[in-house]
Structure 1
Amino acid sequence: MSIDLSTTYLGLKLDSPLIASASPLTGDVDSVRKLEQAGASAVVLPSLFEEQIDHERREVERLHEFQADSMAESLSFFPEMEYNLGPDEYLKTLAEAISSVKIPVIASLNGATRGGWVHHAQLMEQAGASAVELNIYFIPTERNANGNDVENQYCELIAAVSETVHIPVGVKVGPYFTSLPDVVRRFVQAGADGLVLFNRYLAPDIDLDSLTFEPALKLSTPDELRVALRWIAILRDQIDASIAATGGVHNVEDVVKSLLVGADAVMMATILLQKGRDYLGELRTGLTRWLEEHEYESVEQIKGSMSINRCANPEGLNRANYMKALTSYTTPE
């Protein structure tokens, strides 16, 4: 029996659910080729950051002002200032990656405000990106920033991009909202074609010698995936959009669990950094073997079969699970 691993994510037909998410491995064209050869069904390029866009905009504006003061007639040589130049290197890498592989290449934007996102999403579309992923990273720090304002900021950004481009728009978000079912419903209404659950908000550490906050990058662990599994199971039947699981996908069991709760695809970075690109082949083989052993013919058959509306014990996804976990734990002798 031939096992069909194909799936659809953001309207893109993939030959398996295994996507290489943004990491150093997807930022190099040669590496993207090797990921395709190893078995990746799609790749997400590292994000173009809002700060990079703003920096280049300021540099061009500064040059524009200098020319205006020194030689007014030279202004005709400079474009009107609407983020025209942008980070060219990113777009070059994107275009080269697209021309080098047959799998979908998804571009990514990271930021918290509209900035130059709309224009650069257009440029990514023009370069041939199969989709654009909005990696919204907004940390409210003011006490007068209420939850509704935060959610509105997300929705306005999603709407601004989705109304501008004609390629699918995925939104990568964190789990820290008062009511995830409501907020993701709003994101989809705003134009999101899919959700990536969840973003890992990297928290800084404290340097005790300098008494300063320092960046602290920690790779994901398998335990982190449980948060996404729970919420994908809850959300799967409530929204009409693609869902990708990310953050803690480390082995075949993690891939299967993600699909069972309703993910259309799984994204991974840490495990590929740790074990290399060829681990994708092991995951494909392992997924095929699991489906065969459990007498399934395709990935589509298991997708969402353990969502909250279809699983045998939906109470395991709510408060009852908390009580059961506590009462069943035993301390070592």
Structure 2
Amino acid sequence: MDLSTRYLGLNLRNPLVASASPLSKTVDGVRRLADAGVGAVVLYSLFEEQVRREARQNARLAEAGTDSFAESLSYFPEGTGVDHGPRRYLSLLERAAEAVAIPVIGSINASTPGSWAGYARSIQDCGAAAVELNVYLLPGDAHLSGRDVEQRHLDILARVKDAVTIPVAVKLSPYFSATADMARRLDLAGADGLVLFNRFLQPDIDTETLAVAPGILLSRAAEVRLPLTWITLLHGRIGASLAATTGVEGPVELIKYLLGGADVVMTASALLRHGPDYAAVLLDGLRHWMSRKGYAAINDFRGLLAVPIGTDEAAHERVNYVSALRQANSGDYGPW
């Protein structure tokens, strides 16, 4: 049985990808994920805030050294308080890429164009097979227009694409006024892949302490529907690879995404909830289903339930919407 697939122009042994999470913060963690069978690993993210902090600290040290020996400007001694987060990240990436035979993808979590070119190039030089741009931007500024938000994504992509030769994927939020158009524009701008979707981590309110309570909730299977909607609509309509993420709890969600047209399916929540070895359970479930259905390879059924090319997409979704309401009005609310 052939589970192989292509993502970002890379040949993967199967379509299950471990997305960025604490599981990939160590070389041992990356190795455990690879041993469990995943097709690729996205390293935990290097955050824009870390890069900014290091740049500020380096600038202060350089300024402080202007009255010292010239040689002191070429290095930063240990114990000076410099944030070595980005350097640790690059070291981990280099060691992880050497430790496993599957692709290791570097991840940058950004909200502004910034000075990403140098870091993206360093990620490439350390052995990353690709770069994932995790654009996490909640546009709470009432003066920031939708077009400005879209342009910021394109600007971040342009900075990184100019700096590297390895593939670049963009991880998007689902909350664009015209998601398909944004996908098309990123595709035309050179994105090698789109990851659908990022999850905004909405805060809660603690009514006893009267405080905002930020926290992370692992995704559940019901959340598969939003990314699945757009995967089925974009399959075959853009050249960029499509990675589905969010809501993968078991083999069923993995299979649904592939039927919708995803090139790969990413998960963090299922692996965090059940452990890295759960990857084998997901892949075994996929193999068993393929055997029952008579499919010998992923390409035999990928995109089977995508929206057909030539369909009026808006009319198609409207029909689904009306059908769902009629079903609900008849008292059939589906499984609880």
Fold-level match, TM-score > 0.5?
yes
Map 1:137-148 → 2, pairs under 5 A: 137-148=136-147
**Cα deviation digits, residues 239-273 of structure 1 (max 9, x gap):** 11100100001111111110111100000111111
Q: 1:238 to 1:313 in 2, by over 3 A?
A: closer
Unaligned runs of 5+ in 1: 80-84
1:224 matched to 2:210: no
**Cα deviation digits, residues 206-229 of structure 1 (max 9, x gap):** 233554433221110101111011
**Cα deviation digits, residues 263-294 of structure 1 (max 9, x gap):** 00000111111111121112211111111111
Q: Equivalents in 1 of 2:266, 2:308: separation in Å?
A: 24
Map 1:114-263 → 2, pairs under 5 A: 114-263=113-262
Q: 1:311 to 1:261 in 2, by over 3 A?
A: farther
Q: Percent identity?
A: 44
Q: 1:290 to 1:154 in 2, by over 3 A?
A: same
**Cα deviation digits, residues 281-325 of structure 1 (max 9, x gap):** 122111111111111110011111111116999789512222222
Q: Which residue of 1 aligns with 2:74?
A: 77
Q: 1:269 to 1:86 in 2, by over 3 A?
A: closer
Q: Which residue of 2 aligns with 1:82?
A: none
Q: Equivalents in 1 of 2:166, 2:292: separation in Å?
A: 38
Q: 1:283 to 1:73 in 2, by over 3 A?
A: closer
Q: Which residue of 2 aligns with 1:291?
A: 290
Q: For 1:139, what is the secondary structure of its paired residue?
A: coil
Q: Equivalents in 1 of 2:73, 2:286: separation in Å?
A: 59
Q: Which residue of 2 aligns with 1:22?
A: 20
**Cα deviation digits, residues 134-185 of structure 1 (max 9, x gap):** 0001111222211111111110110111121000001000110011111111
Q: Is the 8 A contact 1:163 1:191 kept in 2?
A: no
Q: Is the 8 A contact 1:86 1:120 kept in 2?
A: no
1:90 matched to 2:89: yes
Q: 1:117 to 1:209 in 2, by over 3 A?
A: farther
1:47 matched to 2:45: yes
Q: 1:313 to 1:282 in 2, by over 3 A?
A: farther
> How many angstroms does 1:105 deviate by?
0.1
Q: Is the 8 A contact 2:237 2:309 kept in 1?
A: no
Map 1:100-111 → 2, pairs under 5 A: 100-111=99-110
Q: Equivalents in 2 of 1:36, 1:311: separation in Å?
A: 40
Given the two structures, how large is their TM-score scaled by the length of structure 2?
A: 0.91
Letter in 1 for 2:74: F
Letter in 1 for 2:306: S
Q: 1:284 to 1:310 in 2, by over 3 A?
A: farther
Q: Which residue of 2 aligns with 1:302?
A: 301
Q: Is the 8 A contact 1:57 1:86 kept in 2?
A: no
Q: Equivalents in 2 of 1:55, 1:118: separation in Å?
A: 16
Q: Is the 8 A contact 2:195 2:243 kept in 1?
A: yes
Q: Is the 8 A contact 2:117 2:162 kept in 1?
A: no
Question: Which of 56, 59, 76 is residue 58 of structure 1 equivalent to?
Answer: 56
Q: Is the 8 A contact 2:233 2:313 kept in 1?
A: no
Unaligned runs of 5+ in 2: 77-83
Q: Is the 8 A contact 2:260 2:306 kept in 1?
A: yes
Q: For 1:144, what is the secondary structure of its paired residue?
A: coil
Q: For 2:61, what is the secondary structure of its paired residue?
A: helix
Q: 1:76 to 1:63 in 2, by over 3 A?
A: closer
Q: Equivalents in 2 of 1:229, 1:282: separation in Å?
A: 22
